[in-house]
Amino acid sequence: MQAFAEGKIGINVGASAFLQAHPIVLEKFISKGPVFFEVLRYFLTLIEPQKVKETIDSFGNKLLYKIIIYEYGIYKQTEDERRSLRNTTSFLDLKLNAYWSSLSPKRICSFISYCLKEAKDPEFASQFLTVLPPEAVSDLRNLAGLNIEEEKELYLSLKDGIYELPIQSPGIYRHILKLFEDDPEIFLILSTMEELVLRKQQIIESSHVILEKYKSGKLNHQSLFGDLSILEPEITMEILGIFEEKGILGRSEKKPH
């Protein structure tokens, strides 16, 4: 990687060196200055997420935090520019961070725990709730090893996003409602959301059942629309939207034939 930074070797050799580098070697490499951090950022963007995943899994949380907080600093510096361009891409949606979606919930929860307990950075930690599957968010306290106060601190760091969390992960609704029963404002707003949360739960459960039914073979669109026809039209459209995002259906296929 040193040779790549100095322009002595090509991209493929440099990328191979990055993927095989021991975490201690990478930590020493990026400590040499901003140019070397940029080389690391370049490889994170260039290499496909699944390959990067194995390298990231070998990192300690301290090194991973050092890398990701550096990138976050750059992201924040360009906030005004992105606003002027009406670019609403969130930090974790950047191509550079695509590997987060391939990490296991356990690995992500370990990092969230580090941000809270060691880095004392709950606001930064809360962003990573968005890359966890709903079932992991519902079991966050166990997976991340948090106590009640740490968990509350994490959710409060979401600010208004605390009300979006039960919609994204309905399984956490009762738990978070009880967690904030002594906070009149938060409890009041959350308590009005039950119908919305139950609706989202139905969408998640229905889409999961249909996905399980079809994932082993080619999707039979006629059968798919037959299954969806028994649901409410609005729920059907939301499930079709989920399937489109997952690449199961194209936009032109969202109408039954």
Domain termination residue (choose one: 192, 219, 235): 192
pLDDT attached to residue 145: 96
CATH number for the domain harbouring residue 171: 1.10.220
The reported pLDDT for the residue numbered 242 is 75
pLDDT of residue 95: 80
pLDDT tens digits, one per residue of 75-131: 888 888 888 888 777 888 888 888 898 899 999 999 999 999 999 999 999 999 989
Per-residue pLDDT of the chain (257 residues; tens, 9 = 90+): 777 777 778 888 888 888 888 888 888 888 888 888 888 888 888 888 888 888 888 889 999 999 899 889 888 888 888 888 887 778 888 888 888 988 999 999 999 999 999 999 999 999 999 899 888 998 999 999 999 999 999 999 999 999 999 998 898 999 999 999 999 999 999 999 999 999 888 888 877 777 777 676 655 667 777 777 777 787 788 778 777 776 766 655 555 44
One domain, residues 154 and 207: no
One domain for residues 181 and 203: no
User: Which domain-ending residue is among 150, 169, 192?
Assistant: 192
Q: State which of 151, 170, 192 marks the end of a domain.
A: 192
Domain check: are 83 and 1 in the same one? yes
Is position 94 within any domain? Answer: no
- What is the number of domains present in the chain? 3
136, 211: one domain: no
| Rounded CA separation 59/42 (Å) | 18
Question: Which residue range forms the structural domain that includes residue 2?
Answer: 1-87
Number of helices (H) and strands (E), helices first, in the chain?
A: 18, 0
Tokens of 4: 């790549």
Q: 99 lies in a domain?
A: no
Hey, how many other C-beta atoms are within 10 angstroms of the C-beta on 193?
17
- Residue 175 CA to residue 178 CA, distance in Å, equals 5
The verdict on residue 95 lying in a domain is: no
DSSP-derived secondary structure letter, 132: S
